[in-house]
A and B are shown apart, each in its own frame.
Chain A
C-alpha cells in the first residue's frame, strides 16, 4: 500500500480552542480557502482538560451572532473565594480587596472546555472546515528550502516490534500552503519546530505545571452553581508552588483540581498524591461529601507567560495557543488567549495568502492578547524566583498597587527539568494510603479517564538512552517518573531479582509531564496510533 497525499490551503494540527478558532476565522475571512484540521483524540474534546473558568469575550468576537446560544455558557460565576490553606485543617480567607485583580472572575463562566471545543467544531464544520479526529500528525514535512509544507499522519496497524500487522494502513501526507501547529502544551511537533527554527531565541525557558482535575457528582446542600473557590498553600509546601480550585457547575457537578508547578525540587514529591490529599481539606471536603467521583484527568500547562512565549511564525506556518505558550499565568487562564492567538494566526495567514505584506510581530504587538500578556509578565517568574510568600506579595503589590506598570521584567532562567535536588532519604515524602472516599489510587482514577490504547503497538514513550532510568535517574533522583506521572506509566519492578524499568504506555493520559520533567531529558513523547488516549467527557 502506498502513501497517499492531498493538498489544502491550510492544515491545522490540533482541535483545541486555538486550532478551532483559527480554522473558523480563516473560513470567515475567505470561505474559498480549503482548511483541514487534524485531532489525535478519537473525538474533538476527548483529550481536552481545563478547569475551567472562561472569559467569554473572545468567543463573542469570533461568533458575534451565535455565541449567546452556546450551550456551554450556562453557569456564570456567582461568587469568588480565595483561601490560603495554612495547614491540614486550617485556612484563612483572603479578603476580596487583597486578591490579585487578575483572579476576579466577574462576567466569566464555569465551563467544560471539552464541551466548548465540541461546539466550536460544529461551527467550524458548518463553515466548511474538514475535521478529522483520530489522526495525529506524526511529523512535519519540509521542501528543499527548509520551508514547512505540511504534515504526515502516522501509520496504523504496526505491532510492538515495529512489524506490519494484517491491518496495516499507511499514513497520509497532507500538504498545505500554511501549516498551523496548535497541539497544546509541549506539543511533540511544536517542540521540534521550536528547536529547528530557534523560535525560543532570546526567551526564558518555558515553564510548566501539571494540572489535575476530577469531576464529582454531589448530593448535598453546599452545592451552589456558579461558586468559585481558589486556594493556595497546603498541601503544597516549601519548594513547590501551585494552587487548587473547586468550581460548582450545573447538574450537581463539581470540578476539583490542583495545579502543581513542575519546577518542584524534591524528587520524592508526587503531584498525584498531593492532589488526593488536597481534597481532604475541610474547605474542599465540605463540597464533595456524599458525592461520587465521575471523571479524572491530568494535563501539563504552559505558564511561562510572555517571557517564554516563542516566536509564533516561521517559514511555512505558525505555532499558536499553549503549543507556543500564550496562557496568561496571572489569571491561570489560557482558553481565551488560545482563541485569540488562533484568530491572530488566521488574520495573518489570510493576509500572506493574499500576498499582502504583513509582519506577524506588528500584528501581535497591536493585539489585546499582547497587552494582556505583557501586563502579567512578572507573575510566574516572581513566584518561581522568590518562592510562594514573597512571590505572592510581589504579585499583589505589582498588580493591585502599581497596576502592572512597573518598568522592569523578572526572569526565571532555570528549566523545569533542572530543578530537582538530589534524592535525600531525610526529605523523603510519605503519603497516606487512599481512603477510597476522597482519595484514590492511580488505577481506579485511570479507569475514570477512559484512557485506552491499542495494546499491540510500539511504545510511544521513547527513551533516547534506555539505560538512564536505572542508572543516572535512579541513583540521583530515585527515578522521579514513578511519581510525577499521573497515570502510573513508569514503574521500576523486580524481574527475576533485577530491577526492570517498565513503561505501561497504554495508561498514558497524553499530559506530556514526562517529556518536560525528566531530569535527563531522555523521554520523548510521540503520538501513539490514532484515536488512543483518554476519553474525557465534560472535562
Chain B
C-alpha cells in the first residue's frame, strides 16, 4: 500500500506574522519558514505505518517555488521514501481547490490507496483541501483524526474524530483520505545523520504547467490586517459569575 502525504511550507508558527502594507499580504521576505505542524503529524503517522509493515512506500508531495524543496527534504529526513515536487511560478496564489486538483492528479498517477494530510495549514487555516480532494477522487474521508487503526487485511481503517460534541469513531473503507489533528501523535525529529542521508533520496520535479490545471483564483482576498496588539492586561478570574460581571462591564455581552 502506497501512502501519499501532502506537506506544506508555511511561515514558522512560532514567529510573528507581519503584513506588508503595499502588497496587502503577509510579508514573507526573509521570514523563517517551516513544515506545517499538522503535516508533520501526517508524516509521522505514515512513517509509523511503514515501520509496522503496513505500507509499502511513503511519498511526500508539495507544491510551490524552489524553496519548497527544503520542506520536502525535511520530510525525507524524517524518513519518507521519496518526494514529488510540483513547481510553480512565484506569483501564483494557489487556493484549496487548485491544490486539491493537483493532488488528485498525483494520487491517481501513483495509485495511492491512502492519503494522510494535515487538517489545515496554519497560514491560511482554510481546512478545505482534504474535503475537496475526497470529492474529486471519490475516496472515503475522515477529518480531524486523533486515532488511526488500520485493519489487519488493510481494507479499512477505524478512526477517531475530534468533533464539537466529543469523539466520534468511524470506519472508513480504503481507498481513503484522512486529515489529522494535533493529538494523533508526536512527530519525530529529523536527525543530523538522516538529514545527510535524505540528500540522496529521490525527489522528482513536475512543472505545474505540465498538469494543465486551471489555476484561476476562485477566492478574492479583500484585505489583510495585523491582529490587534495585546494591550489588555490579563486577569485571573475565580468564578463564572465574576467572569460574567467582568464581561458585562467591558460591554462585550
B32, B189, B192: the one contacting A450 at CB < 8 Å is B32
Closest to B34 in A: A42
The contact of A452 among B14, B30, B31, B193, by CB within 8 Å, is B14
**Which residues of chain A are within 8 angstroms of B231 by Cβ–Cβ distance?**
436
Bound complex: CA A170 to CA B187 (Å)? 16
Taken together as a complex, chains A and B put the C-alpha atoms of A114 and B32 apart, in Å, by 12
CB within 8 Å for A115 and B30 given contacts A169-B191, A535-B12, A535-B14 = yes
B16 within 8 A of A: yes
Cα A436 to Cα B230 in complex, Å, equals 12
CB within 8 Å of A: which B208-224 residues? none
Asked whether any CB of chain B lies closer than 8 Å to the CB of A366, the reply is no
User: Quick one: which of B18, B193, B195 has the most chain A CB within 10 A?
Assistant: B193
Among candidates B32, B189, B196, B230, residue contacting A46 with C-beta atoms closer than 8 Å: B32
Q: Is A132 an interface residue (CB 8 A)?
A: yes
A115 to B31 Cα, complex, angstroms? 11
Whether, in the assembled complex, A448 has its beta carbon less than 8 Å from a beta carbon of chain B, the answer is yes
B70 nearest CB across to chain A (Å): 10
Tell me which of B191, B192, B193, B195 has the highest count of chain A C-beta atoms within 10 A of its own C-beta: B192
A6 and B193 contact, CB distance less than 8 A: yes
Once bound together, how far apart are the Cα atoms of A157 and B186, in whole Å?
Answer: 11
Task: Return chain A residues, CB-CB under 8 Å to B23.
Answer: none
CB–CB B32/A535 < 8 A: yes
What are the residues of chain B within 8 A of A130 when measuring CB–CB?
196
Q: A167, A172, A452: which contacts B188 (Cβ < 8 A)?
A: A167
Please measure, in the bound complex, the distance between the C-alpha atom of A153 and the C-alpha atom of B196, giving whole angstroms. Answer: 14
When the two chains form the complex, which single residue of A4, A166, A170 contacts B186, counting CB atoms closer than 8 Å?
A: A166
Measured CB to CB, the nearest residue on chain B to A115 is: B30
In chain B, what residue has the closest Cβ to A135?
B192
Q: Is the pair B14, A169 in contact by a Cβ cutoff of 8 Å?
A: no
Asked if B186 contacts A167 (CB within 8 A), the reply is: yes
Interface string of A42-72 (1 = CB under 8 A from B): 1101100000000000000000000000000
Closest to B191 in A: A169
Chain B residue numbers with a CB within 8 Å of A166 are 186
A residues near B14, Cβ cutoff 8 Å:
450, 452, 535
Chain A residue numbers with a CB within 8 Å of B31 are 537
**Is residue B15 within 8 Å, beta carbon to beta carbon, of the partner chain?**
yes
In the complex, per-residue mask of A521-539: 1 if CB is within 8 Å of any chain B CB, else 0: 0000000000000010110
Q: A537, B30: Cβ atoms under 8 Å?
A: yes
Q: Which residue of A lies closest to B197 (CB)?
A: A4
Q: A63 CA to B3 CA in the complex, in Å?
A: 46
Smallest Cβ distance from A157 to chain B, in angstroms? 6
Partner of B32, one of A42, A115, A170, A172: A42
Considering only residues 419-444 of chain A, those with a C-beta below 8 Å from chain B are 436, 444
User: Nearest Cβ in chain B — how far from A7, in angstroms?
Assistant: 12
Chain B interface SS verdict (over half): loop
Q: Are A118 and B15 in contact (CB under 8 A)?
A: no
Give chain A residues whose Cβ lies under 8 Å from the Cβ of B230: 444
Residue of A nearest to B31 (CB): A537
Q: Which of B1-52 contact A (CB under 8 A)?
A: 12, 14-16, 18, 30-32
B187 nearest CB neighbor, chain A only: A167
B residues 126-156 near A (Cβ < 8 Å) are none
User: CB of A156 within 8 A of chain B?
Assistant: yes
Residue of B nearest to A171 (CB): B192
Is the Cβ of A153 less than 8 Å from the Cβ of B16? Answer: no
Cβ < 8 Å to A, chain B residues 88-140? none
Enumerate chain B residues within 8 angstroms of A114, measured Cβ to Cβ: 30
- The CA-CA distance from A153 to B192 in the complex, in Å, is 9
Are the C-beta atoms of B193 and A4 separated by less than 8 Å?
yes
Given the known A-B contacts A166-B186, A167-B186, are A132 and B12 also in contact in the complex, defined by CB atoms under 8 Å? no
Chain B residues near A169 (CB-CB < 8 A): 188-189, 191
Task: Check if A447 is an interface residue, CB within 8 A of chain B.
Answer: yes
> B173 CB to closest chain A CB, in angstroms?
31
> In this assembly, does A294 line the interface, its C-beta being within 8 Å of a C-beta of chain B?
yes
Closest partner residue, chain B, to A168 (CB atom): B189
Q: Are A172 and B192 in contact (CB under 8 A)?
A: yes
Please encode chain A, from 159 to 192, with 1 for each CB lying within 8 Å of some chain B CB and 0 for all others: 0000000110111100000000000000000000
Least CB distance from B47 to A in Å reads 12
- Residues in B neighbouring A157, C-beta threshold 8 A: 189
Point out the residues of chain A lying under 8 angstroms from B195, CB to CB: 132
Chain A residues with CB below 8 A from B32, complex form = 42-43, 46, 450, 535, 537
Q: Which residues of B contact A132 (CB under 8 A)?
A: 192, 195
- Could you say which residues of chain A place their CB within 8 Å of the CB of B188? 167, 169
**Which residues of B lie under 8 Å from residue A115 when comparing CB positions?**
30
CB-contacts of A1-47 with B (<8 A): 4, 6, 42-43, 45-46
Chain A nearest Cβ from B186, distance in angstroms: 6
Determine the residue in chain B with the shortest Cβ distance to A174: B192
Question: A114–B191 Cα gap in the complex (Å)?
Answer: 25
Which A122-176 residues sit within 8 Å CB-CB of chain B? 130, 132, 135, 153, 156-157, 166-167, 169-172
Alpha-carbon distance between A167 and B189 when the two chains are bound, in angstroms: 7
What 10 additional pairs, Cβ within 8 angstroms, besides A42-B12, A170-B191? A42-B32, A46-B32, A115-B30, A156-B191, A157-B189, A167-B189, A172-B192, A436-B231, A448-B16, A450-B14
- Chain A residues with CB under 8 Å of chain B are 4, 6, 42-43, 45-46, 114-115, 118, 130, 132, 135, 153, 156-157, 166-167, 169-172, 294, 436, 444, 447-448, 450, 452, 535, 537-538
> Can you pick out 9 interface pairs between chain A and chain B where the beta carbons lie within 8 Å of each other?
A4-B193, A153-B192, A172-B191, A448-B16, A450-B15, A535-B12, A535-B14, A535-B32, A537-B32
